[in-house]
């Protein structure tokens, strides 16, 4: 056969010489497409543009402006960074892995002689630019397992040797070469380094080899890359804004929370303003749940280990749990709230007339997160979830899922969040029958489809007991945050033998929905801080107003206004320090307090206050009583 038939995405068929490449196919369509193409999909398999076509196939060209093309571009830039590091530091450094990630890539290095720091980034970037402009072909090479191991062992790249040894016996070993640099990689890659135009190293952190604390500590250099410098510049500007909004930085500046090594890693210490902020959120949550027919419940912090074995947590989630012993009896500190809620359900006979039952708990849980992944409020070991479990009949399931979706819509609208959804399916480590997983997954899909809500499929990332809808918020900087989730569970009701008496007088099995709306309160507060840059909406601002005197002559009147505002439910403080007015106003703005009430002799005489907001806008003078009503009216929108 000297010709191959190539089917294009539009269904048209072209014939090419045997051994032609995807690049030849692109060029036959247009020179512009050939310039934009960076790889291809041959019969569903991603390949380099230089891959020979040896049989009839379906082809899709991957262009640089597509998500797959950008991902490939970043992975090739990760190789370029590793090449630069090896060129600069030689045998002092071993390379490990360098994947692309959202908005960029990283590469992990092992070294006992070299410690990377941001001060070294300019040197590494300069070497990367030099290698990119050298227009080095990026060439794929396949070899036997034995030859590949021998090659990397001779190079002193022992982590690459480990990776090859752990590959399945029938796995094709492929390498990519560019100049004097060679890396183990499945590919595909850009055809040449010259296509890499814009990149920036952004940070360095420690990371354990293969994520295990038992393994060596590596140095991870983070970076980003874009096809052109304008896109890179825009992204870096957004990154700088993200640094300004970092909830850890603002948390210190606004005196909301802290962490202490004395207390332990990943355990939040809430300061007065931070504790008040989360209390306001929790009170809001209670009101919203009561309005929707939820019952508030509370479960213990520890439960006997036998219960965790019954639920499957001991087998499937044990590494994330803490255990203790009391009177020679093993107990597990709860990482989730579902067990106590099932025990409440099981405490008496239930009828179909009782369903659905919606149990809500602001439950504090503890999970053993690895120290390397702890990150401010966003990843902690002790946190409180707005957790609820809905027990219903199979016939009620669709309406209950849609009810939760509506709850999420209403709450996210209050905070001004847009969001996206995906369904996470059965993971490898799981419990329950295939039939129950299929029923649960179809129920979630049907509810989304009926509601006209688009979703993606996230294969293999469900909970171990059931599939879930994951809801990802988009903040002011278009970053995505996982908060709300809806999990459909046919399995735990079976394991705990939960039943209800149906209209036929027979026992039936309920279905359970696990769901959170805000998710972990700690995480949600962290997201709120960054979304609003600390400028919280008035209704959840820990301090809504500060009264500022001009001179000591107004101190007594300030005290009177303060008492009136407190009595009216305004969260207020007074600033009577012997400082200049401008200084006190600037400081209140730095604290991001929504309103400053300036009081001078004129205000005292008229029984007024002169409000100005944190942006500097001044309002008409008003009486303290009018200001109380002003605050109440604005806050009433969220009650």
Is there a catalytic annotation at residue 514? Answer: yes
Q: What does DSSP assign to residue 19?
A: T
Is there a catalytic annotation at residue 367? Answer: yes
- Specify the pairing of strand 257-258 against strand 269-270: antiparallel
**Cα gap 157→109, rounded to integer Å:** 11
Tokens of 115: 């410690």
Question: Residue 138 phi/psi, 5° resolution?
Answer: -105, 110
Options 75, 468, 472, 531, the catalytic residue: 468
Tokens of 93: 């450094």
Q: What is the residue whose two structure tokens read 């004395």?
A: 262
Q: Nearest-5° angle of CA 517, CA 522, CA 528?
A: 75
Residue 562 burial (CB < 10 Å; 0-12/13-18/19+)?
buried
Question: With helix as H, strand as E and coil as C, how does 241-300 read?
Answer: HHHHHCHHHHHHHCCCEECCCCCCCCCCEECHHHHHHHHHHHHHHHHHHHHCCCEECCCC
Options 247, 289, 350, 367, the catalytic residue: 367
Is there a catalytic annotation at residue 247? Answer: no
> For residues 464 and 430, is the Cβ–Cβ distance under 8 A?
yes
- Specify the pairing of strand 545-549 against strand 511-520: unpaired
**Cα gap 403→292, rounded to integer Å:** 9
Tokens of 387: 């957790």
Is there a catalytic annotation at residue 313? Answer: no
Is there a catalytic annotation at residue 75? Answer: no
> For residues 16 and 6, is the Cβ–Cβ distance under 8 A?
yes
**Cα gap 110→217, rounded to integer Å:** 7
Options 94, 178, 219, 385, the catalytic residue: 385
Options 41, 57, 185, 338, the catalytic residue: 338
Options 83, 514, 574, 592, the catalytic residue: 514
Options 127, 189, 278, 389, the catalytic residue: 389
Provide the edge-to-edge strand list for the sheet that holds 139-143. Answer: 139-143, 173-178, 181-184
Active site residues: 338, 367, 385, 387, 389, 468, 514
């Amino acid at each position: 056969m000297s010709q191959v038939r190539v089917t294009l995405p539009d269904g048209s068929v072209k014939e090419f010489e045997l051994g032609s490449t995807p690049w030849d196919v692109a060029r036959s369509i247009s020179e512009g497409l050939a310039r934009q193409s960076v790889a291809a999909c041959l019969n569903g398999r991603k390949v380099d543009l230089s891959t020979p076509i040896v049989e009839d196939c379906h082809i899709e060209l991957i262009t640089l402006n597509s998500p797959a093309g950008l991902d490939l571009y970043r992975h090739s830039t990760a190789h370029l960074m590793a090449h630069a590091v090896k060129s600069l530091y030689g045998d002092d450094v071993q390379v490990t892995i360098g994947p692309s990630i959202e908005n960029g890539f990283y590469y992990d290095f092992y070294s006992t002689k070299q410690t990377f720091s941001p001060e070294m980034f300019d040197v590494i970037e300069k070497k990367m630019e030099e290698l990119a402009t050298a227009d080095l072909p990026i060439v794929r090479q396949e070899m036997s397992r034995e030859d590949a191991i021998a090659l990397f062992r001779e190079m002193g790249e022992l982590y690459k040797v480990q990776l090859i040894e752990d590959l399945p016996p029938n796995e094709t070993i492929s390498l990519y070469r560019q100049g004097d640099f060679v890396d183990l990689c499945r590919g595909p890659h850009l055809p040449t380094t010259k296509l890499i135009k814009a990149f920036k190293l952004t940070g360095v952190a420690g990371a354990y080899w293969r994520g295990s604390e038992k393994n060596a500590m590596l140095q991870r250099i983070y970076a980003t890359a874009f096809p052109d410098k304008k896109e890179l510049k825009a992204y870096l500007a957004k990154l700088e804004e993200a640094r300004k909004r970092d909830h850890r930085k603002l948390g210190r500046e606004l005196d909301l929370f802290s962490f202490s090594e004395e207390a332990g890693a990943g355990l939040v210490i809430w300061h007065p303003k931070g504790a008040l902020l989360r209390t306001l959120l929790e009170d809001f949550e209670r009101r919203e749940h009561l309005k929707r027919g939820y019952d508030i419940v509370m479960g213990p912090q520890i439960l006997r280990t036998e219960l965790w074995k019954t639920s499957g947590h001991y087998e499937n989630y044990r590494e994330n749990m803490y255990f203790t012993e009391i009177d020679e009896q093993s107990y597990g500190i709860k990482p989730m709230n579902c067990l106590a809620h099932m025990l409440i359900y099981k405490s008496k006979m239930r009828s179909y007339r009782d369903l659905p039952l919606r149990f809500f708990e602001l439950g504090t849980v503890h999970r053993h997160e690895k120290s390397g992944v702890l990150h401010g409020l966003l990843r902690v070991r002790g946190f409180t979830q707005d957790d609820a479990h809905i027990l219903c009949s199979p016939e009620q399931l669709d309406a209950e899922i849609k009810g939760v979706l509506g709850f999420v819509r209403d709450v996210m609208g209050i905070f001004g969040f847009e969001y996206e959804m995906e369904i996470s399916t059965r993971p490898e480590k799981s419990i329950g029958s295939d039939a129950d997983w299929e029923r649960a997954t179809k129920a979630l899909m049907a509810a989304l489809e009926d509601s006209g809500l688009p979703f993606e499929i996230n294969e293999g990332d469900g909970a171990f007991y059931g599939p879930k809808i994951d809801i990802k918020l988009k903040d002011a900087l278009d970053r995505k945050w996982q908060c709300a989730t809806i999990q459909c569970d046919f399995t735990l009701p079976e394991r705990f033998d939960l039943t209800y008496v149906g209209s036929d007088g027979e026992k039936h099995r309920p279905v359970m929905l696990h769901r959170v709306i805000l998710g972990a309160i700690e995480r949600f507060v962290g997201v709120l801080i960054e979304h609003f840059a600390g400028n919280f909406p008035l209704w959840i601002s820990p301090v809504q107003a500060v009264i500022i005197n001009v001179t000591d002559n107004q101190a007594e009147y300030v005290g009177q206004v303060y008492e009136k505002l407190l009595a009216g439910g305004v969260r207020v403080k007074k600033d009577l320090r012997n400082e200049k007015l401008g200084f006190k106003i600037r400081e209140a703005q730095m604290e991001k307090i929504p309103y400053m009430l300036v009081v001078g002799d004129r205000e005292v005489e008229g029984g007024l206050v002169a409000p100005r907001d944190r942006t500097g806008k001044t309002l008409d003078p008003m009486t303290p009583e009018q200001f109380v009503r002003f605050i109440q009216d604005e806050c009433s929108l969220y009650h």
